[in-house]
Structures are given as C-alpha cells and as structure tokens.
Structure 1
C-alpha cells in the first residue's frame, strides 16, 4: 500500500501557507517601513549634531564654519544675518556616512537634503533672534528642527514648535 498525501491534505497546507503569507508580508513591510523611518531620524540627529558643532566653532574663536575638504565652500563667523541662506557644505563631511534608505546605497541622504532644503534662519512666524531651522529631506520624509546661534536646540518654552522633530510624508 502506497502512502501519499491526499488532495485535501495538500489543499489544507496550501491554504495555511496562503494565510501565513497574507499576514506575514504586510507585517514585514510594516517593520521595514518603521526601520526606514528610524534610520531617517538617526541621520537627522547626526546632521543636527554636526551643525550644532559647527555653530559652536564661531563661539570658540574660529573664523569659518561648514568648511569642506578643499576649503572652497565655507561660511564666515559670525553667523550670517537672519535672512541669509547658509551654504552648508556638510555633504562633504556627512554623505559618506549616510545613505538614503528610500533610494538605495548609491544616493547620499544629505545631498538630497541640501538640494531641497538648506540650512537657513527661522521664518518670521517662529523667529527668535539667532534661530536657525534645518530641514532634512530624503524625498519621502521631511524632518524639521530648530537651533540657536550657540548650536543648542532652541528652547521649547519660547515657541511650541521648537525642540520638536516633525516628520511628514512628502
């Protein structure tokens, strides 16, 4: 007598596999989406730390900030007037360490950020003297944060938007 699986047994196994795939794949995609969001937040924190350190240099007596390797792109201290746009050549320093998690390994996350939203002084709606806002954009999410001339994240008590990281889908 031959032993084999019956058609009913095979259909039950296929149905179970289908149910598991129907539940597992969306959960996996959700985990991947969360991991990408967390990667963007981590990169944003690294960029804000870099920018804060650059602003601190002015207060420590440095004459230039945001200096790239070739000293071609840089800003002079003191920090520009509040309507000036900073050139922020931070991509030279940071782009090797960061990759855009949505566009793949060949695309720098910070390069994308500088193309769409450079470091610039705060808009008048949230302005405090010497406040700068920074947008990190990777074409999927935008993360916005504020910091003052000392390189500190700006005090939340001065404005409810300060010290908050805002992530929105573009």
Structure 2
C-alpha cells in the first residue's frame, strides 16, 4: 500500500510551460465514491490503471493502484463510470528538487489548470513555484469527484463560477 501525500494549487500563469519535461494525455472515470474514498479508472497512451483511494488523513490518504488491460479500462469507462470522463493533459515540471504535476483540463472542464506536488510526509517543507496561486488542497470543490460531477451538471461558465 502506498500513502499519497499531496498539496494542490491553482495555477496563476503559464510560467511553468517552458520548464515542463514530460506530458501525458489522461482520461479518468469515477467508478464509485463512498464516504471513505473512491474507485477510479485511468487511461493514457502507455497503459490503464484501476485506483482505489481511501479516507483522507490530513492531506494524505492510502492509495492502491493496479495496472489493468486497456480493453478492460475502456469497457469500465463505457459501462461503469458515473457522469462524464475527465480529460486532461498532465505536465511534469521539476522545481526545487520536486516534480510538480500541472493538469490542464479539457472538454467541459476547459479553463481549469491545477498543480500538485507529492510529498513524503504532511509537514515536509517545499518551495512553491512563482506560477502557483492559491492553495486548494483542502477545498472539496477541487477534488476530482467534484469536478466530474460539475462537468456532468453544468456548462463551462457555470463550472468556473462554482470554483471561483
């Protein structure tokens, strides 16, 4: 079992773009959400994964991730996922000894850009890049399950207004 500890931020400007070293196009679908966590399926060009995330403890949570056949992931997305799929491009951006992930959302969530950094523990010191804005780590509006629900319920303007 892995214990994921991450901090999440709004992105204030495109200063990260020239520093990006890798990019991946991702599609995520929410299979199920329950009080203690969620189950997600993810696809990218290189593979497919089923991820189970447990309850939050501070800014961390247990995470179980398993590689699955691409065909299974596609079938899950067609038949099991609630609401719209999340489509985004994830960029890896090194900064001050850590790798930041910048997610640029597409489709019904176009206009949303979030950055996150994974840490070894809750109180690990880190230097936030100048292109990060307000921290939204504890804000439930910026959780992927909420974004999926908003994408299914509203148009682009309503989503951006709800996240404002």
Larger radius of gyration: 1
Greater strand share, structure number: 2
Higher relative contact order (CA 8 A, sep 6+): 2
Greater helix share, structure number: 1
Tell whether the structures are fold-level matches, with TM greater than 0.5.
Answer: no
TM-score by length of 2: 0.29
TM-score by length of 1: 0.28
